Amino acid sequence: MTNTPVISRLFESARLGDLHLPNRLVMAPLTRNRAGADGVPQPIMSTYYAQRASAGLIIAEAATPNAVGQTYPNIPAIHNAAHVAGWRQVTDAVRDAGGRMFLQLQHGGRVGHPANSGLTPVAPSPIPLPETIHTPDGRQDAVVPREMTLDDIRSTVADFATAGRNALDAGFAGVEVHAANGHLLHQFLSQNTNHRTDAYGGSVAGRIRFVVEVVRAVAEAIGPERVGLRISPRVTVNGIQEGDTESIYPALVDALADSGLAYLHVVFADPDQPLFQKLRKSWPGTLVANPVLGWGVPLPADGGRQEGERLLAAGADLISLGRAFLANPDLVERLRVGAPLNPVRDDGLMYVGGEDGYTDYPTLADAPVSRP
C-alpha cells in the first residue's frame, strides 16, 4: 500500500529563539516514571527521547527543582550534580539523533507525599489534595500540606532559577516553567487552593505574583529566550477549581508579555473559545497550543493532526502532542505520509518502568514488508 503525502503547515520549519525547528510539531512533556528512586534519569530514557528526535522540539517530562517538589515515585529531578549528569546523557543522545530539547520544571506542591519525598508537601494554603497519591507502597491518602512561608516562597523561586541553570548545564536548549495541571504554580493561581491573605493571595494580582516571580527569576538566570511557560486554563485535574479563569490568565499573560520569553504553551487550547483568542492577541511571541483531545478517551486516528491544523489557522505557531508521540516514535513521518498510527497501549504500562509500553513502539521501518 502506498501512503499519500499530507500537505500541512505542521511540516513547515519554524524558529524558536536561536533554534531552527524542522517542523511545527512539539512533543509535549509526558511523565513516564522511568527515573531512579533518587530522581536520576536512567539510560532507557536516552533511548526513548532519541527515538522521538524528529519532533520539531521535545519538551522533556517534568523534573523537580527541589526535593520537596517531588510528586510520585521515579520522577526525574534537576537539583543536584547526579541529576545533571543523568540528563546530559539524554540530551547528548537526542542531539546525536538531530533533535532539540527543553526541560519542563515542575514543583508538585500539595501533589506529593512523605512516602515519595521524605518531606511534608508545601502549598500556598494547608488544603490537601482531595484524592489519593501513588507511593511505592500503593495509593495513600494525601496529607495536609504545610502552608508556605514568605521564606519558603523566596527559596522556591531561587530553586527554580537554579534548576534552569542546571538544565542548561545538562545540555537542554531551555526550560518550560510548569504552571498547569494542578501543581504548585497552578495552586497559587486557583481560588480553591490559594486562601492566602498576604501579597500572594486574594486578588488576581496577588495570585499571579508567585508565577510571575518564578518565571522572571528563571529568565534572569538563563535568558528569557530560553524560557517557556505552560498554563492550563479550565483544567480541573488534581482538584483544581480556578474560580475566575477569564480574569486570571489574561492578567498573567499581560504581566509577562514584555519579558521576551521563548513561548507560551496553552494546554487543551480551543480555537473557538474567546479566552484562547484573547491570549493569542495579548501574547506577542511564539504560542504553543496543545489540542483538546480529551482525557481518558481513545486517541483520534490522525493523532490530533486536524485539531492542530485548526489551531495553526487560529494563530498558534507550534502544536504540541502527547500520546501520539508516546505511541509513535516516528510520528512526524507517519503524519507526513498519511500512515496509520500505533494505538496507545493503555494496559498499565504508562508508569511502571521498563521497556514495555515505553521504547518498544514500532516505527514504519520496523513494519514487515508486504510481498506481491
The pLDDT of residue 368 is 56
The pLDDT of residue 253 is 98
Average pLDDT value for residue range 178-195: 98
Q: Are 295 and 315 in contact (CB under 8 A)?
A: no
Contacts (Cβ under 8 Å, ≥6 apart) of 81: none
Percent of the chain with pLDDT over 90: 91
The pLDDT of residue 348 is 65
Provide the domain limits for residue 177.
9-366
The pLDDT of residue 202 is 97
Structural domain contains residue 371: no
Contacts (Cβ under 8 Å, ≥6 apart) of 304: 291, 293, 319, 321, 324
User: pLDDT by residue (tens digit) across 312-357?
Assistant: 999 999 999 999 999 999 999 999 999 999 999 876 677 888 999 9
Structural domain contains residue 4: no
The pLDDT of residue 346 is 74
Q: Which residue has the higher pLDDT, 288 or 348?
A: 288
User: pLDDT by residue (tens digit) across 245-258?
Assistant: 999 999 999 999 99
Q: Which residue has the higher pLDDT, 346 or 225?
A: 225
The pLDDT of residue 65 is 98
The pLDDT of residue 353 is 85
The pLDDT of residue 319 is 98
Please name the amino acid found at residue 155.
S
Percent of the chain with pLDDT over 70: 97
Structural domain contains residue 316: yes
The pLDDT of residue 293 is 86
Is residue 369 pLDDT above 70, yes or no?
A: no
The pLDDT of residue 371 is 36
What DSSP letter does each residue of 123-164 carry, written as one string?
A: ESSS---SSEEEETTEEEEPPPPEEPPHHHHHHHHHHHHHHH
Structural domain contains residue 1: no
Alpha helices in the chain (DSSP H): 43-51, 81-96, 114-117, 150-169, 184-189, 204-222, 245-256, 274-282, 305-313, 323-327, 331-337
Structural domain contains residue 2: no
Average pLDDT value for residue range 126-134: 97
Average pLDDT value for residue range 97-114: 98
The pLDDT of residue 6 is 77
Structural domain contains residue 333: yes
The pLDDT of residue 370 is 42
The pLDDT of residue 1 is 41
The candidate with the shortest Cα–Cα distance to 55, out of 32, 23, 87, 31, is 23
Q: 179 in helix, strand or coil? A: strand
The pLDDT of residue 80 is 98
- Cell numbers given for 185: 504554580
Mean pLDDT of the chain: 95
Would the pTM count as exceeding 0.85?
yes
The pLDDT of residue 44 is 98
* CATH number of the domain within which 319 lies: 3.20.20.70
Question: In this structure, how many other beta carbons lie within 10 angstroms of the beta carbon of residue 335?
Answer: 24
Q: How many domains does the chain have?
A: 1
User: pLDDT by residue (tens digit) across 41-78?
Assistant: 999 999 999 999 999 999 999 999 999 999 999 999 99
- Cell numbers given for 359: 521504547
Backbone φ and ψ for 94, nearest 5 degrees, come out as: -70, -40
